[in-house]
Amino acid sequence: MVAYKWVVLINTTLGLLMATVNSTIILIALPAIFRGLGVYPFAPDAFVVLLWSLLIFGVVTATLVVSVGRLSDIYGRARMYNAGFAVFTVGSILLFLLPNGGLLGGWELVGFRLIQGVGASFIFANAAALIADAFPPAERGRALGINQVAAVGGAVLGLVLGGVLSAAPTVSIGSVAIEGWRYVFLVSVPVGVFGTIWAYRRLRETAIRQRHGGIDLPGNLTFGLGLTLLLAGLTYGLIPYGGASNGWSSPWVWSAILAALGLLASFLVIEARTSHPMFDLALFRNRSFAAGNFSALLGWMAMGGLQFMMILWFQGIWLPLHGYSFSVTPFWAGIYMLPLMGGIIALGPLSGALSDRWGPRSLSTAGLGVATAAFLGLLTLPYDFSYPQMAVLLFTLGCGIGMFGAPNSAAVMNSVPPASRGAASGMLTTLQNAGQILSLAIFFTVLIGVFSVHLGSSFSSSLGGTGLPAGNVPILSGTVVSDPTGAIFGAFLGINPMSIFLTALNGGGVPGWTNVPANSAVWNTLTSKTFFPGAVAPAFQLGIHSAFLFAAGLTGVGTVISWFRGRPYLHAEAAITTAPDRSSEPAPEGGP
């Protein structure tokens, strides 16, 4: 019979793979899903639905995992993990069966993704803790390395699966027609059913539960509400407001952020004073634990939005310039991102195994250093880059992510007492997920901010020589410049934005506008595969380079923090079997 520790590793790896695949699968599949639901991307409320479809999964998991981790320490990690597998499967079934179309169907998509996120939070909060319970310290790095490959690689695999499955044809079974986009959600159902049954049959409680104490209700409420408001405020900061290209001038956005900061500050006060805290802040006295968490936050703030930025670059600029129609760019964007997953797979398990022998500091620090170098390398690429150069940089970045993830997770889990592993795993996952949401908000704000400033001159100069009447040039240019977010997201959703803008101007009775007949030479030039990406590419390059420079700064700071973590603080059960970190760094101050 297979040893119990391998049962734990295989099941939790399957669970993490399923959850992380679904965290990104709609990034690529959303154009097909919107078409299947009949959601018009340029409708007034469609952008809000689009953003929440992309973000709700991460918002829910970031908000819940710490609370779930604490509850798991009390009520049992295997039990809570099993429940998460079941809830996630129910959410996947509901998504596959989405009953309505239009914006109602879009909001149903958001609601059922929320259910998936609840289930995923139970999986995320307990996977690393279950592995730490099942494996001796000398083997944890290797086990967590395999687990981390599933967690990080699954996010990249989701991009590919989203493109492949969303392009699947409609299949008729009797009188029932199953549209291709529904396979995006169906793929998780058999995995979820199998994993749920297997987890209930084989997983068991092996850790000592924290039976004493009650639930920290004030801490849970202030943390959950505070983090939700913060992430919601940042999310709505991406939505155009009052004629601006983003929502940072909205009083609601800043009210939500300020209220969130107040609630999170109250959370810290409550946790310092309550006798049974949701999360033991004393754990941060351990330098290895604190450095592991903060370097993870900075690392994922830098790398979390990378996939989205790269998809915008591929779908909106590079692929159309190389002859791909806008309708097929979502599929190919996923394919061209594969080198990133290759790097993660190449070094994830290896770095985990090596950290068991050499300690986590050198490997995790080197991982963030490699990621920093890759971000700086991306700054050297033009918008119409040579793909082999891009592939090398994506692979290098994947290697950096793989080198950092497993050793850092092992260091964090080894630095806490066994009874606190659920809460520690939850905090690490929360910071990683919150970092990804913050990353998306920051990256997109930087991108659109710089893009908007330079778009006018870039676009106007491209209109010369197209045959467009002179009086139309400032009107068309002003229309595009006034909606840079719509232009970028139109390309992201597989739609040529120029056909949308021209159709709106032709039918809008705009003073001074001379209608451009459909299928005329001017129309065909402006709506060609290459005009829009060529017109906006110089401004886009400045924007995305600014985002990459910011990311390099974050990983650079994370590299320094990771280096100063010192040797890992090991509890009695780990002290004999785990090799010390081969460094001259003095041991950190006492444990938690």
pLDDT at 210 (0 to 100):
59
Sign of CA dihedral 575, 579, 581, 586: positive
> What's the Cα-to-Cα distance from 415 to each of 137, 224, 429, 510, 570, rounded to whole Å?
11, 25, 16, 65, 5
Q: What is the pLDDT of residue 255?
A: 93
The pair of three-digit structure tokens given for residue 203, joined into one six-digit string: 């997983």
Structure tokens, 374:
């890759």
- For the chain, which ranges sit under pLDDT 70? 1-2, 41-44, 207-215, 238, 243, 245, 490-494, 566-592
Alpha carbons within 13 angstroms on the beta-carbon side of residue 176 total 4
Helical (H) or strand (E) element with 171: strand 171-173
- Predicted local confidence at residue 472, as pLDDT: 87
- Pairwise CA distance, residues 513 & 502, whole Å: 10
Joined together, the tokens standing for residue 411 give 């260091």
Predicted pLDDT at 265 = 92
Q: What are phi and psi of 313, to 5 degrees?
A: -65, -50
Residue with tokens 């099941």: 11
Q: Do the beta carbons of residue 514 and residue 508 sit within 8 Å?
A: no
Q: How far is CA 398 from CA 53, 295, 298, 341, 391, in A?
A: 26, 17, 16, 6, 10
The 10 Å CB-count burial string (b at 16+, else e) for 18-44 is: bbbbbbbbbbbbbbbbbbbbebebbee
- Do residues 534 and 321 lie in contact, with contact meaning Cβ atoms separated by under 8 Å? yes
Angle value at C-alpha 269, between 264 and 275, nearest 5 degrees: 120
**CATH class for domain 1-208?**
mainly alpha
Cα-Cα end-to-end distance for the chain: 38
Three-state DSSP class for residue 334: helix
CB atoms within 10 A of CB 270: 19
Domain ranges of the chain: 1-208
